[in-house]
């Protein structure tokens, strides 16, 4: 039966070099296959991994019509807010305008959502002090609004840097929720709630007759 398939007789001399070469080719083929899986764009299923060092969330009661805004200033004087959603490593991922824009689009239709939340991420480290302020932009109800501000450090593990609930009593009111200081490695070295107006930056620049350019005057 073996002779019918023209196979090599078992008693023929063993060639170790051929066996090693064949195994090497098998290994190369396997590694090539793995490389294709890694670089194949379809293998990622369209997902993009985002990286954040800190996440700042600002929440107020569900379905509340008032508009609360968030201002964050970094050690270089750059400010992220609803009119400039990206500055240095900071990004305003979600600007919540109270009852005005709280919806998601499902199958082409706008579906209301009850959540009231603004979200800021810090995606790199700049040593120094960060200031997180909240501002009562539009007071529809005329009543105090409890606003919870939480700063979380994401890397290397999730830890809460600060969490405060603050009442904003009237439109136009600005309060400092937290100020935190980072070292060069991104470790939090200090936190406090000493009040400091970020909006005053705009007003001072205007009084000086200088154009404000998000942290620098000209």
CATH number of the domain enclosing 199 = 2.60.60.30
The answer to whether position 8 is within a domain reads yes
Q: Where on the phi/psi map is residue 83: left (φ > 0), alpha (ψ -120 to 50), or beta?
A: alpha
pTM: 0.70
pLDDT exceeds cutoff 90 at 5: no
Q: What share of the chain is helix, strand, coil (3-state, %, to 5)?
A: 20, 40, 45
The answer to whether position 217 is within a domain reads no
The answer to whether position 75 is within a domain reads yes
Query: How many domains in the chain?
Result: 2
The answer to whether position 84 is within a domain reads yes
59 and 26: one domain? no
34 and 61: one domain? no
Cis peptide before 156 (omega within 30 of 0): yes
106 and 21: one domain? no
Q: Which residue has the tokens 């450090």?
A: 153
Q: Which is nearest to 74 in space by CA: 129, 25, 112?
A: 129
96 and 76: one domain? yes
Digit-coded pLDDT (tens) for 130-168: 999 999 999 999 999 999 999 999 988 999 999 999 999
- Selected residue with higher pLDDT from 98 and 133: 133
Domain span at residue 202 reads 54-207
Stretch 115-126: mean pLDDT, rounded?
96
């Amino acid at each position: 039966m073996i002779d019918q398939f023209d196979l090599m007789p078992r008693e023929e001399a063993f060639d170790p070099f051929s066996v090693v070469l064949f195994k090497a080719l098998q290994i190369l083929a396997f590694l090539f296959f793995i490389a294709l899986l890694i670089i194949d764009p379809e293998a990622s299923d369209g997902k993009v991994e985002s990286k954040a060092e800190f996440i700042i969330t600002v929440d107020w009661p569900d379905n509340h019509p008032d508009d609360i805004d968030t201002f964050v200033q970094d050690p270089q004087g750059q400010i992220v807010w609803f009119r400039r959603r990206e500055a240095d490593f900071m990004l305003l991922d979600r600007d919540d305008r109270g009852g005005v824009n709280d919806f998601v689009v499902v199958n082409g239709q706008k579906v209301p959502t009850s959540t009231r939340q603004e979200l800021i991420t810090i995606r790199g480290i700049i040593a120094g002090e960060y200031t997180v302020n909240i501002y009562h932009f539009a007071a529809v109800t005329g009543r105090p609004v409890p606003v919870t501000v939480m700063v979380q450090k994401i890397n290397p593990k999730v830890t809460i840097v600060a969490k405060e609930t603050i009442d904003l009593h009237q439109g136009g009111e600005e309060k400092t929720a937290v100020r935190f200081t980072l070292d060069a490695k991104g470790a939090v070295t200090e936190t406090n709630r000493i009040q400091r107006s970020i909006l005053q930056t705009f007003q001072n620049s205007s009084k000086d007759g200088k154009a404000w350019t998000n942290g620098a005057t000209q």
